[in-house]
């Protein structure tokens, strides 16, 4: 195991540091950024007593690769949420711009910010793509009705995107989020897959804001009763039912896949969340996106002089897809638990408190 498997860059313990066992073999960083070229950036807004929000940017091919399409697919496990650009994804299976995640009422300015960034960086090209912006609801800790997030915050998140180890927890769009009645937010994990003599990576990123405390399961152990105490979201007059919230999951791989195969990976994020205990609340918007960075350039529009040229793709045949589906489920499961484990207690608007999971009790459970 590497240090990155156990700790974030700011030295916060991840689930593996607490001896939580997970199936599968992570790549070097146990992160979506193990997929070559993928960059992640945050803009985190914590101000006063009532601002607990932000923006996350995931760039499939990095800043230099914006506009070079990836094969992509998505899945709506429960549609009480938003993922802009999904009609174009369904039509073409192509993703060329950053994937953004924020709070429910900030989708508009973040959408505009992506366009502003592309216009700034590619001034001689007419933008012809659709921003992909997902959201989850942070109104328990954040004054979500306030117009805090601007287009510039989205631009900043893209500018901040980097490869390598990334922070997790209360950062970016995940700043004000909660899962299973604990403080949660942004997190990631990865798995290695060897196919046809080549090592590939499947990475997952989650903005976790789902699940009621009684449902919580970690590494196959039902822990809702073990951690039943100190559950303010269920014990106070908070107007949403336990488990309401949402989850946005982004899955990345360098394996060459078809858009339909990316959609199949996106569907397996459902299994990953289910392994953490949730059964999927009607009031939760759980929407999942997957993309492949294989076949660079083959899916982008050719120069006008070559518009009638044929393109060719390599892809994993359908009979070989199962290891990638399994890797997706396992990476999403670990990312969802990391989102809880790396966090600290947060107090937000109206004095609302979201407690951190008692990490020392987790160590005791899995070191027996």
Query: Residue 137 phi/psi, 5° resolution?
Result: -95, 120
> pLDDT band for position 166 (50/70/90)?
very high
Q: What is the mean pLDDT of residues 57-69?
A: 96
Specify the pLDDT at position 129.
86
Q: Which residues pair with 284 in a beta bridge?
A: 245
Active site residue 246: yes
Separation between Cα atoms, residue 246 and residue 138, nearest integer Å? 10
Q: Catalytic residue among 212, 246, 292, 354, which?
A: 246
Give me the chain's average pLDDT, please. Answer: 95
Cα torsion 193, 197, 199, 202: sign: negative
Higher model confidence: residue 304 or residue 158?
158
Active site residue 284: yes
- Average pLDDT for 192-197: 97
Mean pLDDT of 186-214: 97
pLDDT at 175: 98
Confidence of residue 306 (pLDDT cuts 50, 70, 90): low
Q: What are the backbone angles phi and psi of residue 332, rounded to the nearest 5°?
A: -65, -45
User: Is the pLDDT assigned to residue 303 strictly greater than 70?
Assistant: no
Give the pLDDT band of residue 1 (cuts 50, 70, 90).
low
Model confidence pLDDT, tens digit, residues 275-292: 999 999 898 999 999 999
Q: What is the pLDDT of residue 207?
A: 98
CA pair distance 14, 359, nearest whole angstrom: 10
pLDDT tens digit sequence for 12-43? 999 999 999 999 999 999 999 999 999 999 99
Dump pLDDT digits (tens) for 314-351.
999 999 999 999 999 999 999 999 999 999 999 999 99
* Structure confidence by residue, pLDDT tens digits, 245-255: 899 999 999 99
pLDDT digits (tens, 9 = 90+) for 69-109: 999 999 999 999 999 999 999 999 999 999 999 999 999 99
Which whole number is the average pLDDT over 200-216? 97
pLDDT class for 305, splitting at 50, 70, 90? Answer: low
pLDDT of residue 368: 61
What contacts 103, CB < 8 A, 6 or more positions away?
53, 135, 136, 137, 138, 139, 142, 144, 149, 173, 176
From 179, 286, 292, 354, active-site residue: 286
pLDDT at residue 228 greater than cutoff 70: yes
User: Is 31 part of the annotated catalytic residue set?
Assistant: no
248 sits in which H/E element? strand 243-253
Per cent of the chain over pLDDT 70 is 97
* pLDDT band, residue 238 (cuts 50/70/90): confident
What pTM does this model have?
Answer: 0.97
Task: Please tell me which residue in 31, 284, 292, 354 is annotated as part of the active site.
Answer: 284
- Contact by Cβ (8 Å): 239, 125: no
Q: For residue range 138-160, list pLDDT tens digits in order.
A: 999 999 999 999 999 999 999 99
Alpha helices in the chain (DSSP H): 3-6, 86-92, 107-121, 151-159, 232-235, 259-274, 322-341, 359-366
């Amino acid at each position: 195991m590497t240090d990155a498997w156990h700790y974030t860059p700011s030295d916060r313990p991840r689930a593996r540091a607490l001896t939580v066992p997970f199936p599968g073999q992570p790549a070097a960083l146990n992160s979506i950024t193990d997929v070559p070229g993928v960059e992640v950036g945050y803009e985190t807004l914590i101000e006063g007593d009532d601002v607990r929000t932000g923006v996350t940017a995931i760039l499939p091919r990095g800043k230099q690769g914006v506009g070079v399409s990836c094969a992509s697919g998505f899945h709506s496990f429960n549609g009480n949420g938003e993922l802009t650009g999904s009609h174009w994804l369904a039509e073409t299976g192509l993703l060329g711009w950053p994937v953004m995640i924020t709070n429910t009422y900030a989708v508009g300015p973040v959408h505009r910010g992506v366009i502003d960034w592309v216009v700034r960086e590619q001034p001689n090209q007419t933008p012809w793509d659709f921003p992909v912006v997902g959201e989850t609801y942070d109104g328990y800790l954040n004054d979500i009705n306030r117009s805090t997030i601007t287009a510039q915050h989205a631009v900043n998140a893209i500018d901040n995107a980097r490869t390598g180890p990334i922070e997790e927890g209360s950062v970016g769009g995940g700043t004000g989020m909660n899962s299973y009645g604990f403080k949660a937010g942004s997190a990631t994990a990865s798995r290695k897959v060897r196919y046809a003599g080549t090592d590939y990576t499947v990475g997952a990123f989650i903005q976790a804001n789902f699940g009621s405390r009684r449902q919580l399961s970690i590494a196959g152990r039902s822990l809702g009763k073990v951690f039943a105490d100190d559950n303010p979201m269920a014990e106070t007059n908070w107007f949403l039912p336990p488990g309401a919230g949402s989850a946005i999951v982004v899955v990345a791989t360098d394996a060459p896949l078809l858009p339909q195969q990316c959609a199949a990976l996106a569907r397996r994020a459902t299994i990953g969340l289910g392994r953490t205990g949730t059964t999927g609340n009607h009031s939760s918007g759980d929407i999942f996106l997957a993309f492949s960075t294989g076949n660079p350039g083959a899916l982008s529009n050719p120069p006008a002089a070559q518009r009638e040229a044929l393109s060719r793709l390599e892809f994993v045949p359908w009979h070989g897809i199962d290891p990638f589906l399994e890797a997706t489920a396992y990476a999403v499961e670990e990312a969802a638990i990391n989102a809880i484990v790396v966090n600290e207690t947060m107090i937000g608007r109206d004095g609302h408190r979201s407690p951190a999971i008692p990490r020392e009790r987790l160590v005791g459970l899995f070191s027996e």
